[in-house]
Amino acid sequence: MKHVFALVVGLLLATSLSAQTPSSTLTDWTNTYWTAKWIVHPTAPARQYGIYHFRKTIDLPQKQTRFVVHVSADNRYRLFINGRAVAMGPAKSDTQHWNYETIDLAPYLQAGRNVLAAQVWYMGEGTPFSQMSYQVGFIVQGDGEVEKAANTDATWKVWQNKAYTPIKNDNAKLRTYIVIGDGDRVDAAQYPWGWEQTSFDDKNWVAARPFGYPAKPRGLGTDGNWGLVPRTIPPMEERSERLASVRRVENGKMEAAFLQGKAPVTVPANTKAVFLLDNSVLTNAYPELTTSKGKGATVTLSYAEALVDAKGQKGNRNEVEGRTLHGFEDQFVADGSDKRTFRPLWFRTYRYLQLNVETKDEPLVLDDLVGQFSGYPFEQKAQFAASDTTLKNIWTVGWRTARLCAGETYFDCPYYEQLQYTGDTRIQSLISLYVTGDDRLMRKAIMDYDHSRFNDGLTQSRYPSADFQVIPTFSLFWVCMVHDYWMHRQDDAFVKSMLPGVLSVLNWHEQRIAKTGLNGPLEWWNFVDWSKWQNAKDEIAGGVPAGARKGGSSILSLQQAYTYFRAGDLLAHFGQNERAEYYRELARRLNKAVFAQCWDAGRSEMADTPAKNTFSQHASILAVLTDAVPAAQQPALLQKVMSDTSLTQATFYFKFYLFEALKKTGLGDQLVTQLKPWRDMLATGLTTFAENPEPTRSDCHAWSASPLYEFLSTTCGILPAEPGFKSVRIEPFLGDLTTIDGRMPHPAGEIAVQFQKTSTGGLTGNVTLPANLSGTLRWKGKTLPLKAGKQMVSL
């Protein structure tokens, strides 16, 4: 399904748009009150669960070449024109940055009668945590005089669809934290089938009620509700995909041909049947189940990343024998008619999809089951190949992981939370830049976190989120994200607009430096990593090292220094030299205090606190990244960190910072050998990379896709040499590899490298840079200048 989006380019800063823009100039609806009204059902409660259908018929004297409308809803909408689905939205944000989509409907309209229809839903108490809200509402604003025929007002009709009821998924049964909202139960007998089609008779529908104050863009008016802003990201990709195999059938028959849409399955009357289906890989999709007959039959659709054994353990993800599915559920109740299609309101994440069918007095025919994949429309432009061909699987699975964790925001995980956490997002953004070159979702994430700031001065840890949560370490990583963006994109106006927020984060942390020179007691949740921290029992939330609650954490102090150095670079770039040096000096003082109080000379390692009774990989990694340990000692320290199993170990998430430390100290040759945990995940049948080592909750966590970035930035060695990626530094680390071949998108074109090691330890190959880009190639202490175009190299 393709959507033709037209976004207001002049109001999107430097964002590039892949969407089609109408040839005519758009009206500036960002600076004037809208003439359309927010509309609701006239009698239904505005803040309780409800699914609504809106319709309006318009007559057009001729086929239109342009018919632009601006559309939004709370919580969400799906828009149909003459029976055809054309858009979904709005892109998630908060109420004071409430997105609207701009769409040219002309391709879907005809001369004469046309029907505009929308399904709008409000999930009430069962709303996902990622969904912020004011109350139910729907709005369409026509861009010009002709299009104003589409404006929402009392001429629109509405129907509350009581076929829907929420399914409260059993978190106790799922044994986890799951906040993606309720499932959908649809009773086909109450559903207004064909409601979106032009032939549907809506005479029994009621007139919609205009709601509240004039609709307005953000920054106008005296009252809150929704501050409308144009969407800055493209529509989500949607494409059909089919399940791969039938793994188990109980009390019925199903052949693989059913999964290809070629052989309907009949479940006899008064039968309970179970069909366990395998997609072969994890996916995000809207399952569309079509049934016929079977009046009163119930089909429960259950979704899972993996099956579990009697002890609740996942084990090898490919195995089904002796395992059951415990997962998120939807349900459809048949009405006895033909070709009824159930589709949930939101996508589902699954490798395994199970159909539990219970028929009444009539057989039920399962006509078809197809998934409609949903995700941010990232296009893989980077490539990586090496003499070790097993790395290809790590690349493929890593890319699938990154894709499933990206929609209208980045997700920490698609199955359990779908929340945009800063610690995850920093890594996800670098993957996006390197593999796709698309920076729009990264920009949106940076803005989302800036919008999340509250009176303490910190950003919230995850945003948009209806559930308030603060992780001060993630606020620091937001500052680092701004720095990352500045290094990779020439977009000074955008970066400069983030500086007030950057300074407020820096100030919060500065105010909590104790007289010891280390961090004093810290409020909120100072998460570092899901490691098994020693002597950190005062933090019940987990993931927090010793010294956070009472003060004296070397890890938290060093992360603060790490961020201050990056903030200093940003501030100096924008002429704030005195303030830049202030924060650099503050970082140096933190480093000095940590080294003086936490360095254990006997162990030659950094302790987690001045008590020196707990040690972790994290403390020493950050000591390297901040130069808290002298440069000459850093390689030996990292070597010890990687071999000392008595240390609290970094999990998949924090290994990103280990990889960065290897690159910094010239030890990048050891990257590939450090990928054993990723190979272990592949060996257990995972098709995406997990949140944590086994036993893990989430089988898909984008922070674990970091090897994609490292293959290009460490193994191929491609890094920006100055802000805006105005020049490139290439320092490859092949390790035991004999050849590598990589390419990645750059704002000016493509950077491509092809290297092989010589028998004497030299390097030969080719480097190709886009026009007007120059740089330097480094190899074992030697350098070679690089110019635009393709060039042979030998060092």
Tokens of 73: 């809803």
Together in a domain, 228 and 249? no
**Any domain includes 463:** no
Mean pLDDT, each 10-residue run in order, the chain (795 residues): 37 33 73 95 97 98 96 98 97 97 97 98 96 97 96 98 92 77 97 98 97 88 88 98 98 97 98 98 98 98 96 96 96 98 98 98 98 98 97 98 98 97 98 98 98 97 98 98 98 98 98 97 96 78 91 97 98 98 98 98 97 97 98 97 96 98 97 97 98 95 97 98 98 97 98 95 96 96 95 93
**Any domain includes 222:** yes
- Cβ–Cβ contacts within 10 Å for residue 143, how many? 24
| Rounded CA separation 314/307 (Å) | 6
**Any domain includes 578:** yes
Together in a domain, 292 and 361? yes
Residue corresponding to tokens 């080719």:
766
Together in a domain, 199 and 249? no
Residue-number span of the structural domain to which 302 is assigned: 238-375
CA atoms within a 13 Å half-sphere pointing along the CA-CB vector of 332 = 27
pLDDT of residue 495: 98
Share in percent of the chain as helix, strand, coil (round to 5): 25, 30, 45
Together in a domain, 242 and 226? no
Together in a domain, 516 and 634? yes
The SS3 of residue 450 is helix
Together in a domain, 217 and 243? no
pLDDT of residue 71: 98
Please return the burial class of 254, using the count of CB atoms within 10 Å of its CB with bins 0-12, 13-18 and 19+. buried
Tokens of 270: 């008064």
Together in a domain, 652 and 559? yes
Neighbour order of strands in the sheet with 718-720: 718-720, 727-730, 774-779, 782-786
Which domain-ending residue is among 670, 704, 737?
670
Together in a domain, 229 and 247? no
pLDDT of residue 177: 87
User: For residue 764, what are the β-bridge partners?
Assistant: 756, 794
* Phi, psi (deg, nearest 5) at residue 423: -60, -40
Together in a domain, 225 and 313? no
- For residue 775, give every residue at least 6 positions away whose Cβ sits within 8 Å of its Cβ, in sequence order, or none: 721, 727, 728, 729, 730, 769, 785, 786
**Any domain includes 494:** no
Which domain-ending residue is among 233, 266, 288?
233
pLDDT of residue 5: 40
Tokens of 536: 């950190």
Under 8 Å between Cβ of 674 and 655: yes
Phi-psi region of 83 (alpha: psi -120 to 50; beta: other; left: phi over 0): left
Question: What's the 3-state SS for 361-416?
Answer: CCCEEEEEEEEEEEECCCCCCCEEEECCCCHHHHHHHHHHHHHHCECCCECCCCCC
pLDDT of residue 539: 67
Together in a domain, 81 and 211? yes
Q: Over pLDDT 70: what percentage of the chain?
A: 96
* Phi, psi (deg, nearest 5) at residue 177: -90, 110
| Rounded CA separation 197/195 (Å) | 6
- For residue 611, give every residue at least 6 positions away whose Cβ sits within 8 Å of its Cβ, in sequence order, or none: 546, 552
pLDDT of residue 10: 32
- Cβ–Cβ contacts within 10 Å for residue 20, how many? 15
- For residue 575, give every residue at least 6 positions away whose Cβ sits within 8 Å of its Cβ, in sequence order, or none: none
DSSP-derived secondary structure letter, 714: I
Residue 695: is the preceding peptide bond cis (ω within 30°)?
Answer: yes
pLDDT of residue 174: 67
| Rounded CA separation 525/549 (Å) | 9
Q: What is the total count of domains within the chain?
A: 3
Reported in sequence order, the residue ranges of 437-500 that DSSP labels E, i.e. its strands, are: none
pLDDT of residue 171: 65
DSSP-derived secondary structure letter, 615: B
**Any domain includes 532:** yes
CA atoms within a 13 Å half-sphere pointing along the CA-CB vector of 370 = 14
For residue 354, give the nearest of 375, 329, 372 by alpha carbon: 329
CATH number, domain containing residue 208: 2.60.120.260
CATH number, domain containing residue 528: 1.50.10.10
Q: What are the angstrom distances between the C-alpha of 356 and each of 288, 298, 526, 530, 742?
A: 15, 8, 43, 36, 47
Residue 90: is the preceding peptide bond cis (ω within 30°)?
Answer: yes
CA max distance for the chain: 87
**Any domain includes 397:** no
Q: What are the angstrom distances between the C-alpha of 218 and each of 222, 442, 466, 612, 622?
A: 11, 22, 20, 52, 41
**Any domain includes 545:** yes
Together in a domain, 60 and 149? yes
Which domain-ending residue is among 638, 670, 702?
670
Together in a domain, 195 and 276? no
Residue 610: is the preceding peptide bond cis (ω within 30°)?
Answer: no
pLDDT of residue 19: 34
- Parallel, antiparallel, or unpaired: how do β-strands 265-267 and 348-358 relate? unpaired
Q: Which residues of 499-515 are buried (b: 16+ CB within 10 A; e: fewer)?
A: bebbbbbbebbeebbee
**Any domain includes 429:** no
Indicate if the alpha-carbon torsion angle 671, 677, 682, 687 is positive or negative: negative
pLDDT of residue 538: 64
Residue 75: is the preceding peptide bond cis (ω within 30°)?
Answer: yes
DSSP for 98-147, written as a single string: EEEEEEE-GGG--SEEEEEEEEEEE-GGG--TT---SS-EEEEEESSTTG
